[in-house]
Amino acid sequence: MALPSSTRPHVSIGGAPLSPTEVVAVARDHARVELDDIARERVDASRALIERLADDPRPHYGISTGFGALATTFIAPERRRQLQASLIRSHAAGTGAEVEEEVIRALQLLRLQTLASGRTGVRAEVVELYAGMLNAGITPVVREYGSLGCSGDLAPLAHVALAAMGEGEVRVRGGHVTSAREALATASLIPVVLEEKEGLALINGTDGMLGMLLLAAHDLEMLFDTADIAAALSIESQLGTDAVFAADLMQLRPHPGQRDSAAHLRALLAGSGIVASHRDPDVCTRVQDAYSLRCSPQVHGAARDTLAHASAVAARELAAAIDNPVVTPDGRVESNGNFHGAPIAYVLDFLAIAVADMASISERRTDRALDVARNQGLPPFLAHEPGVDSGFMIAQYGAAGVVSELKRLAAPASVDSIPSSAMQEDHVSMGWAAGRKLRRALDGLARVLAIEVMVGVRAQQLRAPLPPAPATGAVAALVRDACGGPGPDRFLSPEIEAATDLVSTGAIARAAASALSPITHEEDS
């Protein structure tokens, strides 16, 4: 639920590029946006240029011509308002399920940032209306299908522009659906009548796919930490060793993500009586742990490095002003191809691959914990009374089913292209589709990690009276409160959902972090 207006943080639009944290704050927490004076000056200056070109008898694309394949068709001045309105109405052609509020708000905000850059030529009232809609909690209804990720996220952005015109449907605070005109009136906002160039400026951007990338990157930072925690529970409870995560061994292959994941695992396992119980070679005769345990930092680290690359791409895109045609700083109005979504589409797909592999190694660790031949003395499926009870047998089925789905979602969307607009737009990025499937993949990863955490906690409890590490013990206490402890079989689905909620909200990550020794954490950082 959004905070009251008086207590919500404010995000300034028009100065420095938005930060990923600011985008998440507006998209999820309804932080207020404010336009700075510099933005208004830039907007007024570029609009004056557009109005001069509108009076020029020579055609200028997007100002006095049609669009796309109709770019050579001159439009008389008295028809241009109709042209802009028709553009938005025709392009608001999405279909399918509604897109999530946070995605739409991110899209609105990112388009607002570009409008406020002075590179699009829109009037100040358009910019102010977009800010007002965000602050009033007016979220246009956007449908899932319609964007090919080239010429911008045309259909999703057109649905937002349609609402700014007072047409179409929106959701207001509380989730109620109403007409855009009614919602604007309630918020004392005036629908815009679009002038030359403004229709194009409102829909030519990569804002939807970028918004989904920023939201995913924010969540993945926490999920990757949670994956380390799940692995630590598995390593500890399956009597694995932490010696293979030593800093000097990691330095032999100096990938930063691997280094960070290994340091996290060392900190999580520090002080574990379970790990200490089998350090003596006379007690433990195993030479090496299985790959899913021993290679956790290598796999988790590769995913972290993939996220770092994707975040770098997102940062560059946040600093961009995308429109076609675009008003350049020296006062030209130039056509360009900056709206093509390939840079974002590629990293969205890359992250989906990393997510699938993270879930895959997690499921393998879960399976080992349940197999009496490999779990170092634990009961089959961690059942209370094997034979009568099935324990976590079918929970592993659920994880396996999700991993199979994630492998399908890892197939890249960006390698596909279907020509559109009478072959004018003959190569497209499919970046919006890449963003949609990545969001589904993140949900799947959270579920697979939740099952590993549940299994790891149960296995850890079955090692009693050996004490766990403080960090894994804190996680176990949290999970036990939400899901119960060992015992006969019970209705498991609600417990999996509860554990998934603990993962998705970051509660697992916070519980582990709160128990880490400051000294150990500093040494490993």
Catalytic residues: 61
Report which secondary-structure segment, H or E, holds 169: strand 169-171
Q: Which single residue is written with the structure tokens 């498991």? A: 492
Q: Which of 508, 412, 409 is nearest to 451 (CA)?
A: 508
d(CA 203, CA 122): 12
Q: Which of 4, 293, 95, 31 is nearest to 12 (CA)?
A: 31
d(CA 522, CA 403): 35
Contacts of 4 (CB under 8 A, 6+ apart): none
Q: Look at strands 10-13 and 32-35 and give their pairing.
A: parallel
Q: Which sign does the torsion angle of CA 357, 359, 363, 365 carry?
A: positive
d(CA 209, CA 431): 6
Per DSSP, the three-state class of 389 is: strand
d(CA 198, CA 126): 8
d(CA 83, CA 76): 10
Contacts of 101 (CB under 8 A, 6+ apart): 139, 171
User: Is the distance from CB of 269 to CB of 240 less than 8 angstroms?
Assistant: no
d(CA 422, CA 426): 8
Longest CA–CA span in the chain (Å) reads 91
Q: Which of 333, 241, 319, 318 is nearest to 283 (CA)?
A: 241
Query: Across the strands, what pairs with 33?
Result: 11
User: Is the distance from CB of 389 to CB of 396 less than 8 angstroms?
Assistant: no
Report which secondary-structure segment, H or E, holds 216: helix 207-237
User: Is the distance from CB of 386 to CB of 379 less than 8 angstroms?
Assistant: yes
